[in-house]
Structure 1
Amino acid sequence: MSVLLLCAVIALLLLLRVPVAFAFIAPSLAFMLLTGQSLGLALRLVAESTASFPLLAVPLFILLGSLANHAGIAERLFDFALALLGRVRGNLGYVAVGTSVGFSWMSGSAVADAAALGKLQIPTMVRNGYSKRFALGVTGASSLIAPVMPPSIPAVIYAGLAAVSTGALFAASVVPALLMAFGMCIVVFLLCRNNDDIVRTEFSWASVARTGRRVVAPLGAPVIILGGILGGLFTPTEAAAVGAAYMGLLGFAYRKLTLRTMPKVLVEAVVTSAAIMLIIASANLLGYVFARERVPQLMSDFVLGLTTNATVFLLLVFLLALVLGTVLDATAVLTLITPILIPISAAFDVDPISLGVLVIISLMIGLLTPPIGTVLFVLQAVAKARMSEVFLGALPFTVPLLLICAGIIFFPDAVTYLPERLGL
C-alpha cells in the first residue's frame, strides 16, 4: 500500500506538470524520512548514480550534437541529399529521412535532430507544395532515428544500467535504425505518389559534386566514433570525446564556431546534460525505494505467473514501454524499468541487448505521442503549429516503428546477429 501511495503521489505531481526529476525525488525523500532512513543515504545514492564512467559519454555526445548543430552540418547534409534526389517525386520527404540518418551519426538525440532540421526542412517543404502536416510528420518521425542509430544517448544510459557492452548495443541498433529509415521512405512514397503539386528540381552532377565535397569531412565523425568503438580503439566515452573535439575543429574551420559563440554551445550542452543527469539521479533514488520494497521481485513473480513464453514477455515489455513513454521522459523510464526488467529477462532467456533495442524503439514512439511527447513540443514551437497537427502528421510514420518492434518481439535473436559477428 505504501508503494501504491508513493506512485499515486508521483502521478499527481506529473499531472500538475511538475518536472519529472522533482516529481520523483520529493516523494522518494518523503518516503525515506517516513520509514526512518537517513537523508545522507539518499544524498549518497543520488551522487553515486551519476558517478559512472560509461555515463560520462552522455554529456560528451550531447556536446558533440550541439557542436554539429552550430557548425551547420545539418544544412550541408540537406543540400547534398537534395542535389541527389531533386528529380524524385516526394524528394524533400526522402531528403528529410536521409538527412536525419546522416545527422543521427553525430547527434544521438531526437530533440536536437528535430530542432536543427525542423527550422530548415518544414518551411522549405511548405514552399515546394507539401502540406504542412506532412512536413511536420516526416520531420518529427525521422528525428526518432537519432536515438536509435549509434551514437545513441538512450543506448549509453541503458548499457550503463544493464551492465552490457555499449559497443554491442550500438552494433545491434544499426540495422533497426536503417529499417526505420527504409520504412519511413515507403510511407513518403505512398503519401506523395499522387501529389502533382510537389516542386521538383533539375538533377546536376556539378551540384552533386559541389555539395558532396561539403559533407566529406562531417561524415568522418561517424567513421571515427563507430570505427573506433567497434574496432576496439576507443571506449564509447573516449570516442565521444574524440568526436566532440573533431566536430569542434570542423566548426572553427567552417567559421561557424568562434570563441565568442563557444560559451553558448557549452551552456546549451551543460543545461541538457544536467537535465538528463538530474532525471537519472532522481529515478535511481526512486529505484532504490522500489528495490527496498521488493517491487522487482513482485513484478518478476507477477510476470512469471502470467506466462512462461519469451515472446509474450517481450510483448508485455513493448506495451509497458509504449505506455510509459507517452507520459514520462525516456531517460526516466529507462532508469526505472531497466533494473527491474533485466532479472526477469534472464528468467526468460532473453538477451539484454535485444531487450534494450526493443525498449528504446518503443520509448521513441512516445516522443511523438501526447501528452509528454518532447518532439511534439519542439516542432510545435519551431513551426508555430498545433500539437494535433504534428501528431496526426507523424501518425502514418509510426507504422514502420511498430512493425520493427513486432519483428524484434518475434525474432529477438536477429538483433544480436551483428554484434556476435563483430565479436562484441
Structure 2
Amino acid sequence: MISLLLFGSFIALLAVSVPVAISLGLASAVALLYSGKVSSSYIAQGLVTSIDSFPLMAVPFFILAGDLMGQGGLSRRLLNVANVFFGRYTGGLAIIAVVTCLFFAAISGSGPATVAAIGGLLLPAMVKEGYDKGYSVGLIASAGSIGIIIPPSIPMIIYAVSANVSITQMFLAGVVPGFLIGLALILVAYLKARKEKYVGNTERFSAAQKWQAIWDAKWALLVPVIILGGIYGGVFTPTEAAAIGVIYGFVVGLFIHKELKLRDLYKVIAESALTSATVIVIVGTATIFGRVLAIERIPFMIADYIVSLTDNPILILLLINVLLMFVGMFMETLAAIIILVPILLPVVVAVGVDPVHFGIVMIVNLAVGMVTPPVGVNLFVGARVGETTLEKASVGAIPFILIMIVVLLVITYIPAISLFPLKLMGY
C-alpha cells in the first residue's frame, strides 16, 4: 500500500505539472506520514544530510566554472579551432558542432549548458548556410548530451556518490564512450550532409592560420588538461579541481581574454546559483525518495523479481536498458540516477557487472533521454535557442538518437570500452 501511495502520488503530481523536485519531496512526505515508521522530522534531517557531502560540492563549482568560461569567450575560440580544421569538409558545420560540443563538454560537465553555449554561436550560421533548422537543433541537442558522458560530468558525480564508487574512476570510464558517441554522430552528420548536399565552406586555411587558431584558443584547450590531468594524476580531488576551474575561468575571462566584465559577474553567478540550487534540491528530495524505497525494501523486491525472471547478465542488462530509456523520456537525469541506483545496482552486481561500467551504461542511457521527448531537456534548450518548435527539433534528432542507441548497446556488452582506461591507470 505504501509503495502504491509513494509512486501513485509522485506520478499524479508530475501529471499536474508539479516540478520534479517538489513532486519527489511531497510523495516521500505522504508515504512517510502514512506509514508512521519515522517521525516527520526525518524529511528535514534527510534533506540536510543528503547534501552534506564533500564530493557533491563539485557540482556547483563545475556549473559556475562552465558559465564563467562560456561568458569569457572560451567556447567561441573552441569553435574557431574546429572551423579551421573541419569547416571545409562536406557537412563541415555539422562536424564542427559535434567537435566543439566534445571540447565544451570537458569544460561545462552539463548537457543543457553545452547546447546553450554552442547552439547560440553555431545555429544561426548553420541556418544561414542552408541547413534545416530542426535538423540543426536535433544535432546540437544530441551532441550536447555528450556533456554528461565526457568528464567532468555532473551526473557522474551524483552516480558516484549514490553508488559509493570513485568519482575519478567514473571520469576515466567516460572518456572512450564519450568520444565513441561523438564519432558516431559525426558519421551520421557526414552521411546526412552528402545526401542533402550540405557542403562545407570553400575557404582553405593555411598551416599558419590553423596554428593561430590553436594559439588563440590555448587557454580553452588547457582546461581539460589542467582539470582532468590534475584529477587523474592525483594532484587534487574532483571537488578541488572544480574550484580550480572556477578560478581559472574567472582569471582567463576577466584578465586574459577580457570578455568577462565585472558587470557581468552578478548575472553569471546568479544564473549558476539558480542552476545549482535546482540540482541540490533534486538531490535532496530524490535521496529522501530513495530512502523511503529502502525502508519499504522495494529495491530488494524488484531485484529479486528481475533475477527470478532470468540470471543471464545479457538479458538483465537489456531489460535495464529498456527501463532506463523509458525513464529517461519522462524523468530528469539526476533524479533518475538517485532513485534508480539503489534499485538497479544490487541487481547488476549480483550477476557480476562492474558498478563503474554500469554507471556508464546508466549515464549513456539517460544522455539519450535528454534528446527524447516529452521531457528531453536538451531539445527544449535547443528549440529555444534555435527559435523552432519542439516537434521539428525532435524529428531532426531521430537519426542521431538511433546511432546513440547502437553505441549504447556496444558499450553495454563490451565492458572493456569503459573499463580499459581504468586498467591502464592501475585501478
Counterpart AA for 1:169: M
Show the 5 A alignment for 1:132-171.
132-171=133-172
- CA positional deviation for 1:380: 1.6
Counterpart-to-counterpart distance in 1, 2:58 and 2:197: 46
Please report the RMSD computed on the Cα atoms of aligned residues, expressed in angstroms: 1.3
The residue that corresponds to 2:242 in the other structure is 240
Matched, 1:8 2:11: no
Counterpart-to-counterpart distance in 2, 1:96 and 1:180: 13
Show the 5 A alignment for 1:311-390.
311-390=314-393
TM-score by length of 1: 0.97
Conserved in 2, the CA contact under 8 Å of 1:326 and 1:372? Answer: yes
- CA positional deviation for 1:259: 2.2
TM-score by length of 2: 0.97
Counterpart-to-counterpart distance in 2, 1:288 and 1:272: 24
Q: Which runs of 4+ in 1 moved over 3 A?
A: 194-199
- CA positional deviation for 1:102: 1.0
Cα shift readout 1:277-319 (whole Å, capped 9, x = no counterpart):
1001111111111111110110111011011111112112211
Conserved in 2, the CA contact under 8 Å of 1:314 and 1:355? Answer: no
The residue that corresponds to 1:407 in the other structure is 410
5+ residue gaps, structure 2, are none
Cα shift readout 1:357-408 (whole Å, capped 9, x = no counterpart):
0000000111111111111111121111111111111110112311121112
Conserved in 2, the CA contact under 8 Å of 1:84 and 1:203? Answer: no
The alpha-carbon distance between structure 1 residues 87 and 199, as it changes in their structure 2 partners (threshold 3 A), is: closer
Counterpart-to-counterpart distance in 1, 2:246 and 2:130: 37
Counterpart-to-counterpart distance in 2, 1:292 and 1:79: 53
Counterpart-to-counterpart distance in 1, 2:47 and 2:116: 31
Counterpart AA for 2:8: A
Counterpart-to-counterpart distance in 2, 1:197 and 1:267: 40
Conserved in 2, the CA contact under 8 Å of 1:101 and 1:145? Answer: yes
Counterpart-to-counterpart distance in 2, 1:195 and 1:34: 59
The residue that corresponds to 1:59 in the other structure is 60
5+ residue gaps, structure 1, are none
Conserved in 2, the CA contact under 8 Å of 1:49 and 1:284? Answer: yes
The residue that corresponds to 1:188 in the other structure is 189
Counterpart AA for 2:404: L
Conserved in 2, the CA contact under 8 Å of 1:121 and 1:135? Answer: no
> What SS does the corresponding residue of 1:13 show, helix, strand or coil?
helix
Matched, 1:83 2:87: no
Counterpart-to-counterpart distance in 1, 2:11 and 2:281: 18
The residue that corresponds to 2:18 in the other structure is 18
The residue that corresponds to 2:226 in the other structure is 224
Counterpart-to-counterpart distance in 2, 1:309 and 1:415: 21
The residue that corresponds to 1:304 in the other structure is 307
Cα shift readout 1:130-162 (whole Å, capped 9, x = no counterpart):
121221121111101111000011101101111
Aligned length: 424
Conserved in 1, the CA contact under 8 Å of 2:230 and 2:241? Answer: yes
Quick one: percent identity of the two aligned structures? 36
Counterpart-to-counterpart distance in 2, 1:320 and 1:12: 20
